[in-house]
Each structure stands twice: as structure tokens, then as C-alpha cells.
Amino acid sequence: MQLIIRWLITAASLVVAAWIVPGIDITDNSGWLAVLAMAAMLGLANAFLRPLLTILSCPMVLLTLGLFLFVVNALTFMFASWAAQTLFGAGFVVNGFFPAMFGSIVVSIVSFLLSVFVPDKS
């Protein structure tokens, strides 16, 4: 149940990002299906790709005092969008690096704010 709630929180934060950030568009008529597919791909990318990118970019992260993690987040966001379009035909489009970076920031903030209202099991 907790996984479904987190998935829906991510989907809602993706809708907010598409609404706020220019360059992120939901182009599909079945908008919620595109958002749910993107949320699933973003979860998988954050679970598998982001740790690998973080390890590979460790020297840059240290040199920039952690600011390079914004680049890692943007690349993960762009990959998730590409994968959702390729695998599911989802119409969640990220048009470039800076929309991906700002979109990942918006998704992080909105997900955090929505997670505050969801009770934890513990």
C-alpha cells in the first residue's frame, strides 16, 4: 500500500512540475496514464540509475561540494522521460537539460511536501 501511495505522490508532483516548468509537457490525450508511466520510470531510474551515476560522478560531486548532484538528478529525470516515451509510449516530454533540472527540483519539493501529510507505518 505504501508503494502505491508513494507512486501517486510522485505522479502528483510530476503534474505540478509539468504545470510550473516550461519545457515539460504532457502531450498525450490520456494524461494520467502518461504521468503514471513517468512516475514508474522515475522510481526505477532513481532506484537503479541514480546510484550508479552518483558513484561514477563522485569526483565532480566532491569538487562542486555536492552541486553536481543537480546534474545527476536532471540526467535521471531526462532518462526517465525518454524511457517512459520509448517503453510505454507515454506523452510526458522533457525538452532539454534545464527543464529537466528545474523539473527534478519541483518534483523533489512537491513530493516532500505531500509526503509530510502521509502517515508513516512506524
Q: What is the pLDDT of residues 20-44, one digit of tens each?
A: 999 999 987 778 888 999 999 999 9
Predicted confidence band of residue 15 (pLDDT cuts 50, 70, 90): very high
Alpha-carbon distance 39 to 20, whole Å? 17
- Tell me which DSSP letter residue 119 carries: P
Domain boundaries along the sequence of the chain: 2-115
Return the number of other C-beta atoms located less than 10 Å from residue 18's C-beta: 25
Main-chain dihedrals φ then ψ at residue 26, nearest 5 degrees: -105, 105
Query: Are 14 and 112 spatial neighbours (Cβ–Cβ below 8 Å)?
Result: no
The tally of CA atoms less than 13 A away on the side-chain side of residue 62 is 5
Name residue 114's amino acid: L
Q: pLDDT per residue over 59-86, tens digit each?
A: 999 999 999 999 999 999 999 999 998 9
